[in-house]
Amino acid sequence: MIDVSFQLKGSALTVVVLALVEYNPDTLAVELKEKIDQAPHFFVNSPVLISLERLENPENCTALLANADSLIQICRKLDLQPLGFTAVPEALLASVQKTGLAILPTPSERALKIPAAAKTKAPETIVETRVETVVETVIEERVVQRMSRVVTRPVRSGQQIYAEGADLIVLAQVSEGAEVLADGHIHIYGTLRGRALAGVKGDESARIFCQNIEAELVSVAGNFMLQDALPKELLKKPVQISLKGEKVAVEALVSA
């Protein structure tokens, strides 16, 4: 047996994506602070991924062209922890690289990567033969059922429960400061006072079902809504939460 000084493990990590549309350092600092003040317990010391995918006219963004590190400093002064950048346009690549942070590929860029072995594959010699065959195709419909993770005890403050590749069913309350995440749907049969994040790997069809909503934050496929934006008439009532376009929608859960 060989002893090693470290282990490499995969893990679920909640990351806030800061998607810039335009960049004015003074304006961003003020607006970002206002957003953080709405839910300080969620944002303080949160890891942040900076996305430049929606940045308008990046070649004319003089503030970022001159010094992308100024954006990093704004985040850190507000107790956010930048992890890196994604969807960096060519015009800003040199400036972003000087920050020393990682530049992460977008999901579409990862899908387009071709293994090196495939690029150097030797040409094949093909011998053509004629064979007459009769092929009968039988199509069998199958229902693929997603697994579920069931939690029977209350989720306490500071706890994080993640249902990887599955729906999450919580038969008790989710306390303030607690966090529940799932790749699929989330069902909470008690009070949700903490945070619930469904479809964390991008499933826009995921939903959150809750018997009593008092959440700090709810999120579907990375789009989130803070407590102060929840419809006042639906607080402490059964609701379902889904994604409509890029906006989180909260609706009353009506039983038949």
Share of the chain above pLDDT 70, in %: 80
Q: Name the residue type at position 233.
A: E
pLDDT band at 12 (very low <50, low <70, confident <90, very high): low
- Checking if the pLDDT of 54 tops 80, the result is yes
Euclidean distance between CA atoms 173 and 169, whole angstroms? 11
pLDDT of residue 96: 94
Q: Which position has the token pair 């317990």?
A: 41
The phi, psi pair for 114, rounded to 5°, reads: -105, 130
Euclidean distance between CA atoms 251 and 14, whole angstroms? 25
pLDDT digits (tens, 9 = 90+) for 203-251: 999 999 999 999 999 999 988 898 889 999 999 999 999 999 889 999 9
- Checking if the pLDDT of 114 tops 50, the result is no
- Checking if the pLDDT of 29 tops 90, the result is yes
pLDDT of residue 129: 47
pLDDT digits (tens, 9 = 90+) for 123-163: 555 555 454 545 555 555 555 567 899 999 999 999 999 99
pLDDT of residue 118: 47
Mean pLDDT of 163-173: 95
217: Cα separation from own chain's centroid: 13
pLDDT band at 71 (very low <50, low <70, confident <90, very high): very high
Contact call for residues 50 and 85 (beta carbons, < 8 A): yes
15-24, 40-49, 79-88: which range is least confident on average?
40-49
Euclidean distance between CA atoms 142 and 153, whole angstroms? 34
**Overall pTM surpassing 0.75 (yes/no):** no
Residue-averaged pLDDT of the chain: 84
pLDDT of residue 35: 83
pLDDT band at 68 (very low <50, low <70, confident <90, very high): very high
pLDDT of residue 38: 74
- Checking if the pLDDT of 172 tops 50, the result is yes
- Checking if the pLDDT of 2 tops 70, the result is no
Identify the DSSP state of 84: E
Mean pLDDT of 98-105: 92
Q: Domains plus CATH for the chain?
A: 16-108 (3.30.70.260), 147-252 (2.160.20.70)
pLDDT band at 255 (very low <50, low <70, confident <90, very high): low
DSSP track, 24-44: -HHHHHHHHHHHHHHSHHHHT
Mean pLDDT of 55-67: 89
